[in-house]
């Protein structure tokens, strides 16, 4: 394929990796050259997802077998701690789009605190960009290392960052209640969670200590130009995919809920993948499943100065592989929706 972006995917057999393959295998500007994993070397990727059977895709290979001269871009959908090792060996012509937490936190001490891992590429952290595409469109193409936000932080920041940056809501006592399908925990969910009746019940986890708190606090503090600490509780619910985040806020000054809604609507009017629901309308994940869209609703509370914002995304797409491809599109000066609609 002439002038194609030659791609490698590391972590190809996980939920996010498979979603990446589905998107990129139909992308008109991409050629998938390597699909890498640590197990099942030599197997066809259709072994893991039969919908890929008709695609002409490479067999699973080891990361060390990549010929970097052939690769323009590698997506890493690996456990935390792997991408900053890979970043050290990349040639200058190869971009890295990472879906782990390895380049999300700008302070390596915070990374060690929240993830228990010493960062192996501290000198590269400041050379990377943390990119929710909607906020970084003019800057993404300046970076070779692009860090994709976590799924929960994506759902939270798309409505919150504009409001906090514009000083329209109070930065204290922000409460975030998020619910996610169990695919967000990866294929080893049973090892990570020992909840009784895991697939039939709602379970809170990481209460007051979830790793995504560090990322949310970092980005909201940056937007506010002062320290912000939110209250955030995630829940696993008995469905495969999707995130619904409910955010409780207090309005500043003389603004009213409808003004907050109108501001957000104006802010996101040119963001293709952000859709505002009508004012004061309840929403769910049903309309964003299997899409790269984020749906946002602004609702009144019975207390006049308070509002409730609801944000819905598909954790595997807008919260994962879809946003990664959206970042790729912008990094290569393509229309951001190519391959995603």
Strand order in the sheet with 243-250: 203-204, 231-237, 175-181, 243-250, 306-313, 294-300, 274-276
Q: How far is CA 226 from CA 153, 165, 217, in A?
A: 18, 11, 10
Instruction: Out of 36, 148, 151, 294, pick the active-site residue.
Output: 151
148 is catalytic: no
> Angle between the 151-165 and 257-267 helix axes, to the nearest 10 degrees?
110
Name the phi and psi angles at 92, rounded to 5.
Answer: -65, -20
Residues forming the active site: 151
């Amino acid at each position: 394929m002439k002038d194609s972006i030659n791609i490698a995917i590391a972590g190809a057999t996980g939920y996010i990796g498979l979603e990446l393959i589905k998107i990129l295998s139909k992308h008109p500007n991409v050629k998938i050259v390597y699909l890498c994993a640590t197990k099942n070397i030599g197997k066809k990727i259709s072994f893991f997802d039969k919908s890929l059977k008709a695609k002409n895709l490479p067999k699973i290979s080891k990361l060390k077998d990549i010929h970097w001269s052939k690769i323009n871009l590698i997506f890493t959908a690996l456990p935390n701690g792997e991408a900053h090792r890979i970043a050290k060996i990349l040639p200058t012509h190869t971009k890295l789009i990472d879906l782990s937490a390895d380049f999300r936190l700008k302070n390596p001490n915070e990374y060690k605190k929240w993830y228990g891992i010493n960062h192996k590429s501290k000198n590269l952290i400041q050379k990377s960009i943390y990119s929710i595409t909607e906020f970084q469109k003019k800057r993404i193409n300046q970076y070779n290392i692009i860090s994709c936000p976590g799924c929960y932080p994506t759902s939270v920041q798309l409505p919150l960052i504009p409001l906090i940056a514009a000083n329209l809501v109070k930065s204290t006592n922000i409460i975030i209640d998020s619910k996610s399908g169990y695919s967000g925990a990866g294929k080893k969910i049973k090892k990570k969670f020992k909840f009784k009746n895991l697939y039939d019940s709602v379970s809170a986890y990481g209460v007051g200590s979830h790793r995504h708190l560090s990322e949310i606090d970092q980005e909201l503090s940056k937007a506010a130009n002062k320290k912000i600490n939110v209250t955030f509780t995630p829940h696993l619910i008995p469905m495969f995919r999707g995130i619904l985040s409910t955010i409780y806020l207090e309005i500043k000054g003389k603004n009213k809920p409808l003004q907050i809604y109108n501001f957000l609507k104006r802010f996101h009017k040119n963001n293709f993948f952000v859709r505002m629901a009508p004012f004061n309308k309840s929403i769910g994940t049903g309309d964003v499943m299997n899409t790269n869209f984020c749906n946002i609703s602004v609702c009144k509370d019975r207390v006049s100065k308070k509002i409730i914002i609801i944000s819905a995304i598909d954790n595997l797409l807008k919260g994962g592989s879809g946003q990664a491809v959206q970042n790729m599109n912008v990094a290569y000066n393509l229309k951001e929706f190519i391959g995603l609609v």
